[in-house]
Amino acid sequence: KAGVTQTPRYLIKTRGQQVTLSCSPISGHRSVSWYQQTPGQGLQFLFEYFSETQRNKGNFPGRFSGRQFSNSRSEMNVSTLELGDSALYLCASSLALAGSETQYFGPGTRLLVL
């Protein structure tokens, strides 16, 4: 069974632009969670989607948003990019809501904001 896939793997943007990242979960998994990883803050939870609804949200500004499609694929959008948004963005999928299920991570999308 294929693992979690994320596209693109690398991205360079400039301040003020917006970006959309994509995540395809493991087949059959219905929950997708997003995390941001930076050297300073470590791994931080962004949000979780289950059945096309945001179920859970971390402490990030409204510039960070996401959505989930009927096939469980998810996208994450960051508007008005700031230098501090440079990070590795990781997507994780689980069979059901993440609280009671194991999360499996993708390879991540590395975003560099110049």
Partner 1 sequence: AQSVTQPDIHITVSEGASLELRCNYSYGATPYLFWYVQSPGQGLQLLLKYFSGDTLVQGIKGFEAEFKRSQSSFNLRKPSVHWSDAAEYFCAVVNYGGSQGNLIFGKGTKLSVKP
Asked whether position 100 contacts partner 1 by CB under 8 A, the answer is: yes
If the CB atoms of residues 21 and 90 are measured against partner 1, the closer one turns out to be: 90
Among 36, 108, 111, 113, binds partner 1 (CB under 8 A): 108
In this structure, are residues 91 and 74 in contact, taking their beta carbons and an 8 Å threshold? yes
Q: What is the rounded distance in angstroms from the CA atom of residue 56 to the CA atom of residue 40?
A: 23
Residue 89, H or E segment: strand 87-94
Q: Which residues are at the interface with partner 1 (CB under 8 A)?
A: 4, 6, 33, 35, 42-43, 45, 48, 55-56, 58, 90, 92, 97-100, 102-108, 110
